[in-house]
Every structure is written in C-alpha cells, then in structure tokens.
C-alpha cells in the first residue's frame, strides 16, 4: 500500500502566499483576488498533488483523515457514499489494517469488526467532496465552479495577448520586408536616370506624392525619409535616351489639376503610376531612332488607344460647342466618382444603349446640358466627351447632313422626347410651336427670338404691346426643354436659349449645301487670296476650326494673327 497523504493538513497549513514568490502570474493574482482563504488552500493542495502524484492511479488519500473534515456524521456514512458513487479497486481500495499486537488485544477485549483502511485516488477524493452533500461539500463545489471560470478567463487573456504579440511580430516582419524592397529599388536605381514616386505619408487617406526625376534615388529621397516618418518609395522606373527634365515637365503638366505645391501632388498612388507609365511609354516610343521600328510601335499604340484619336481634330471641331483646344488634364476628371456617376445617370435616364443605334455629338452633348439644368463648366464637358469616347464608339454617322460630315457615337441614341404644350394657352406658346422647334442641339439668341415673335404677331394680326420680351421669358423660364444662358451662334453671341431654334434656320441650312457662297482667305496688306473653298464647312475643315467659328469669322471679317481674314466677297 502506498504511503498516505494527509490532505487535510496539507490544505489547512498551506495558504497561497507561499506560492507567490515562485509563481507570481496572472492566474495566481486572480485566485488571490477572487478566492476565500479556504478556497486558496484547496488550490495549493490540489496543485501540490498534481506535481507529486498521479491523480487517477495513486491511492494516497486516507478516508480516516477526511471524513470528519468533510462533516460526515460517521465514517460508516462516508463509506456508504463512497460505495454508492464510486467503483472499488478503480476509484478507491480497502485494505485490512496491519495485524499488530495492539490490534489483536483490542479485538480480544472488545470484539467487533476488523479495522479497515480506505484509500482513494486524488481524483476520487475531489469527486467525493462534491458527492458528500454537506456544508463543506457545497463550499468545495463552489470552489471548482469559480476555478473553472478563472481558468477560462486566464486562458482567453493569455490567448489574446499571444495573438497581439503575433500581430505585432507580423507587422514588424512586413515593415522589414517593405524596407528591404525599398532598399532594393534604391540600389538598382543608383546613378541611373530614374523617375520616382515618393509617398510623403502612407497613413493619410488622401496621399500626397512627390513625383520627380533623378540620377541617384538614394541621395534624392534621403532627406524625405528623414523628414517624413511614414514616407515610402512607391515607384521607380529607369529611363534612357530621354530628356528627363522634359519628361518631368510633361508629367507635372498632366498632374497640374492635383498639384499641392511644386512637385507634390494629391492623387491616388495607382492613378499616378498609370499616368507616369503612359508618359514613359510615349517618350520611349518617340525616341526610337529606327523609323520602321518607331512606326511599328506607334501603330501598336494606336490599336490600344481609344478610337477617338482616329478622327481628325478638324472633323471633331465642327461637331461640338466647345471647340477650344482640349487641355490634356481634363479627361482626368473622368476619374472623379461623382462626375462619372452623373454621366451614368444621364445615360440611364435619357438614352438608349444598343449596338444598332447612333447619335450625333452635338445632340447628346446638348441634351446633357439641358438635363443638368445649368451650363456645365468647360472642363466637365471635356470630361463628358472623354466618357463618351471611352464607353461608346466614336464614328462618322451613317445618316449624314448634306452641309457637312456629321460625327457622333455608335451604340447610343437619345430617347424620344415628346414636346408637350402647357395647359394654359398663350400667344408665346402658339408662336414657339408654330415658328420654332425644340432640339437638344438648338440655339437661339434672345434678340432673334423677340424679333421673330413680333413679326409673327404682326402676321397673325396680334397687337404689339411692348411686353413681348417678358411674354417669351415667362413662358420659357420654367420650360424643361430649354435653358437660358450665354450662347454662341453663327449669328453672334449673347444671351439666349439652348434647346430651341427657328424652323426657318433648318431650311437655310439645307439650302446652303447647294447654294452656299465661296469662302476666301485674304492677306490683309496685299489682298492676295491665300485660299478658296466652296462652302464654309469645307473651309472650316481645312483650316481646322469649327464651322460656327468660321461662319462667325466670315460675317465679322475677323482678323487672325494680324495677317489674314475670311470673306465671301471677292
């Protein structure tokens, strides 16, 4: 029989403070904070037992030492509880007491049973404490419940702490990896002509990028790294056989819309990379000395480029109302999410998207203006054109005007608009529906409209009361088909309406195609004829300006470059 362990003495003489010097950890602190003195003693004894004995095979707990402590009425009651709940020779064992002379004498004098020694395993003893159904047993039961909760809390805290440590370690490794990659980039680019993008602060939601050129990246960004705690070299690209300063100036010009100061731009990193790479590609192609190779490369670029570049500037110029030179930066407005959403909404509400339809540039741009209810800024119109060029196919329309070639887009057309009269009848309404015509691309000056209204009144025997201007204005101010603004027409510029024109102008336009006068380009000083064209449309196409501007120049004999003017009189 194994030597017994006096568990009661162990519990009652070993407070938890004895452990703190050797095991001062979170678990012990929690036990001291949450356990009573008795519960602390139970923990120490349990801990001691686990260190020194096998809890399921070593029978070291003597029932004689614990039944009174557990507040059983008698040892017999304790044995009955043990027999009812546990298995003999597995959970506990019964040994006959040694046949000492003293025991034999007691038997002879008193008689009765043999004295039995009941020994339990440590695990059985713990379960026996719970089964006892005494006050002490309830205390021990509560101890185990509290111990389980504290163990769970401690394990969770230790687990969370470990996760945090791992996360910090991973972050450190990632930072080291980035530093290594950045170092490799710098090493590769030393003493080599290089374009670089340096992110001043990677923690910012809207990045500010230093974009420039250098022959030594490490020296160039060294002061930035010292000043910018969270700075990062985002991009490098070596370039050869290229004028770096010219390329840098070109890139900065393209990014001028996002310039913060000098060479610092507020723009998305990926967008900046895309723009820079496209510029590099263009410069490298242009710098190719072998002409055949250069032509081949340019043709490859042409195939990848948006199809609108295949239409000459002269042809496009006469198709839109914004024929000024388009800044290279304005298509970048296309990347503004709000603007793009606005364009998408217009297409969804006002257009038909289908492969077999088409629309002229003037009509779709005119309707977009009316749909906005205000005249968009020039940059927005350029962005809209870029949007149309990207989403649809720019082309020469199948349905042509005899006066000039019409360009537009295949894959989109305008939904049919039903122009309705107002419920309240008026002379202004009757005049507009009889003499004028609503059209997305229509324009008419206020003075022209007033003049035609007065003529119409006379023709139908209506009184001219001097209030005609207000009558027209009152009718059109809340008309959804027109918009009042400063406009430009072949007859001059001034205040007027978009979305409306005279029916008679439509007839004049058709007539011009067959009876239009010749246009002459005349030198101011010598009156020498520098050029001749059969129509304004042909003159505008050859001279690379819009037909409306050409018409305006002819009518006013506008002088260009202090050198020449256009006229129909010779």
The tens digit of pLDDT for each residue in 12-57 reads 454 444 444 443 455 556 566 665 665 555 555 554 455 466 767 8
- Residues in CB range of 62: below 8 A, 6 or more apart: 4, 5, 6, 117, 118, 119
Which value, to the nearest 10 degrees, does the dihedral of the CA atoms of residues 13, 17, 23, 27 take?
100
Exposure on the CB side of residue 376, measured as CA atoms within 13 A: 21
pLDDT for the residue 185: 58
Q: Encode pLDDT of 457-481 as tens digits.
A: 999 898 999 899 999 999 998 888 9
Which value, to the nearest 10 degrees, does the dihedral of the CA atoms of residues 86, 88, 90, 92 take?
80
Cα–Cα distance measured from residue 172 to residue 190, given in angstroms and rounded to the nearest whole number: 27
Which pTM value belongs to this model?
Answer: 0.38
Q: Encode pLDDT of 232-266 as tens digits.
A: 888 988 887 677 788 888 898 888 888 888 889 99
Q: Is there a single domain that holds both residue 461 and residue 518?
A: yes
Cα–Cα distance measured from residue 112 to residue 115, given in angstroms and rounded to the nearest whole number: 9
Residue 166 lies in a domain: no
Domain coverage including residue 431: 427-567
Q: Encode pLDDT of 163-179 as tens digits.
A: 788 888 888 888 777 77
Exposure on the CB side of residue 220, measured as CA atoms within 13 A: 23
Beta strands in 406-446 (DSSP E): 407-414, 436-445
Q: Is there a single domain that holds both residue 459 and residue 322?
A: no
Q: Which of the listed residues 414, 442, 470 is the one where a domain comes to its end?
A: 414
Specify the number of domains making up the chain: 4
Contact 497, 449 (CB under 8 A): yes
Query: Helices 361-372 and 337-350: crossing angle, nearest 10°?
Result: 110
CATH number, domain at 462? 1.10.10.10
Query: What secondary structure does DSSP assign to 348-406, as a single string?
Result: HHHEEEEEEEEEEHHHHHHHHHHHHTSPPPHHHHHHHHHHHHHHSEEEE-SS--SSS--
Q: Is there a single domain that holds both residue 435 and residue 563?
A: yes
Cα–Cα distance measured from residue 184 to residue 165, given in angstroms and rounded to the nearest whole number: 28
Tell me which residue of 138, 140, 10, 130 sits closest to 82, measured CA to CA.
Answer: 130
Residue 465 lies in a domain: yes
- Residues in CB range of 77: below 8 A, 6 or more apart: 67
Q: Which of the listed residues 300, 326, 349 is the one where a domain comes to its end?
A: 300
Please count the other Cβ atoms lying within 10 Å of the Cβ belonging to residue 566: 27
Residue 177 lies in a domain: no
Residue 375 lies in a domain: yes
Q: Is there a single domain that holds both residue 282 and residue 316?
A: no
Query: Which residues lie across from 328 on neighbouring strands?
Result: none
Q: Is there a single domain that holds both residue 133 and residue 224?
A: no
Cα–Cα distance measured from residue 529 to residue 566, given in angstroms and rounded to the nearest whole number: 10
Residue 208: strand, helix, or coil: strand
Contact 265, 255 (CB under 8 A): yes
Residue 420 lies in a domain: no
Q: Is there a single domain that holds both residue 324 and residue 276?
A: no
Q: Which of the listed residues 393, 414, 435 is the one where a domain comes to its end?
A: 414
pLDDT for 318 beyond 50 = no
pLDDT for 324 beyond 50 = no
Contact 565, 555 (CB under 8 A): no
The band of 455, judged by pLDDT with boundaries at 50, 70 and 90, is very high
- Residues in CB range of 444: below 8 A, 6 or more apart: 436, 487, 489, 496, 497, 500, 501, 502
Cα–Cα distance measured from residue 101 to residue 510, given in angstroms and rounded to the nearest whole number: 143
Cα–Cα distance measured from residue 311 to residue 164, given in angstroms and rounded to the nearest whole number: 60
CA angle 205–381–404, rounded 5-degree value = 155
Residue 460 lies in a domain: yes
- Residues in CB range of 199: below 8 A, 6 or more apart: 207, 208, 209, 231, 232, 233, 234, 269
Residue 362 lies in a domain: yes
Q: Is there a single domain that holds both residue 439 and residue 538?
A: yes
Residue 163 lies in a domain: no
Q: Is there a single domain that holds both residue 448 and residue 410?
A: no
Contact 85, 127 (CB under 8 A): yes
Q: Encode pLDDT of 394-425 as tens digits.
A: 888 887 765 567 889 999 999 999 999 988 88
Contact 472, 457 (CB under 8 A): no
CA angle 72–75–79, rounded 5-degree value = 95
pLDDT for the residue 509: 54
Query: Which residues lie across from 96 on neighbouring strands?
Result: 116
Q: Is there a single domain that holds both residue 294 and residue 321?
A: no
Q: Encode pLDDT of 361-377 as tens digits.
A: 999 999 999 998 877 77
- In eight-state DSSP terms, residue 56 is T
Q: Is there a single domain that holds both residue 152 and residue 25?
A: yes
DSSP H or E run through 116: strand 116-121
pLDDT for the residue 470: 93
Please count the other Cβ atoms lying within 10 Å of the Cβ belonging to residue 386: 19
pLDDT for 229 beyond 70 = yes
Q: Is there a single domain that holds both residue 408 and residue 448?
A: no
Cα–Cα distance measured from residue 302 to residue 345, given in angstroms and rounded to the nearest whole number: 31
| Sheet of strand 351-360: strand arrangement | 351-360, 407-414, 393-396
Q: Lowest-confidence range among 216-220, 289-293, 325-329, 440-444? A: 325-329
Please count the other Cβ atoms lying within 10 Å of the Cβ belonging to residue 504: 12
Q: Is there a single domain that holds both residue 103 and residue 37?
A: yes
Tell me which residue of 553, 531, 529, 557 sits closest to 542, measured CA to CA.
Answer: 531
């Amino acid at each position: 029989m194994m030597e017994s362990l006096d568990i009661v003495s162990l519990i009652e003489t070993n407070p938890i403070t004895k452990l703190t010097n050797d095991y001062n950890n979170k678990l012990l602190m929690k036990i001291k904070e949450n356990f009573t003195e008795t519960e602390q003693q139970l923990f120490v004894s349990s801990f001691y037992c686990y260190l020194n004995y096998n809890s399921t095979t070593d029978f070291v707990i003597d029932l004689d030492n614990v039944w009174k402590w557990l507040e059983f009425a008698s040892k017999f009651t304790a044995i009955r509880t043990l027999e009812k709940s546990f298995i003999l020779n597995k959970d506990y064992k019964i040994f006959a007491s040694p046949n000492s002379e003293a025991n034999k004498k007691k038997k002879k004098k008193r008689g009765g049973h043999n004295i039995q020694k009941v020994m339990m395993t440590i695990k059985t003893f713990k379960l026996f404490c719970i089964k006892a159904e005494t006050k002490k047993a309830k205390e021990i039961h509560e101890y185990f419940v509290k111990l389980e909760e504290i163990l769970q809390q401690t394990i969770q805290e230790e687990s969370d702490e470990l996760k945090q440590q791992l996360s910090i370690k991973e972050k450190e490794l990632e930072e080291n990896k980035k530093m290594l990659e950045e170092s490799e980039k710098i090493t590769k680019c030393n003493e080599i002509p290089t374009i670089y993008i340096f992110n001043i602060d990677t923690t910012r939601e809207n990045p500010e990028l230093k974009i420039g050129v250098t022959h030594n990246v490490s020296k160039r960004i060294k002061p930035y790294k010292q000043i910018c705690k969270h700075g990062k070299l985002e991009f490098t690209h070596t370039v050869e056989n290229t004028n770096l300063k010219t390329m840098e100036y070109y890139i900065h010009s393209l990014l001028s819309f996002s310039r913060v100061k000098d060479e610092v731009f507020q723009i998305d990193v990926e967008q900046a990379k895309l723009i820079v790479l496209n510029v590099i590609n263009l410069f490298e192609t242009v710098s190719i000395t072998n002409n055949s190779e250069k032509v081949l490369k340019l043709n490859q670029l042409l195939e990848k480029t948006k199809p609108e570049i295949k239409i000459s500037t002269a042809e496009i110029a006469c198709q839109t109302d914004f024929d000024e030179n388009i800044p290279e930066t304005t298509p970048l407005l296309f990347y503004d999410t709000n603007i793009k959403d606005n364009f998408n909404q217009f297409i969804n509400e006002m257009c038909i998207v289908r492969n077999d339809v088409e629309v002229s540039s003037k009509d779709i741009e005119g309707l977009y203006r009316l749909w906005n209810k205000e005249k968009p800024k020039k940059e927005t119109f350029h962005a809209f054109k870029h949007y149309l060029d990207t989403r649809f196919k720019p082309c020469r329309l199948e349905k042509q005007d005899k006066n000039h070639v019409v360009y537009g887009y295949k894959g989109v057309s305008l939904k049919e608009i039903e122009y309705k009269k107002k419920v309240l009848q008026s002379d202004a309404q009757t005049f507009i529906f009889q003499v004028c015509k609503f059209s997305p691309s229509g324009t008419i000056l206020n003075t022209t409209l007033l003049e035609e209204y007065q003529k119409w009144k006379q023709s139908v025997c209506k009184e001219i009361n001097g209030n005609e201007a207000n009558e027209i204005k009152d009718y059109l101010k809340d008309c959804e088909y027109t918009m009042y603004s400063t406009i430009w027409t072949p007859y001059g510029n001034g205040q007027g309406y978009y979305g409306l024109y005279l029916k008679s102008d439509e007839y004049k336009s058709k007539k011009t195609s067959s009876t239009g006068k010749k246009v002459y380009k005349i030198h101011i000083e010598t009156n020498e004829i520098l050029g001749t064209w059969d129509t304004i449309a042909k003159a505008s196409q050859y001279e690379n300006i819009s037909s409306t501007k050409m018409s305006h120049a002819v009518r006013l004999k506008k002088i260009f470059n202090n050198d020449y003017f256009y006229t129909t009189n010779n």
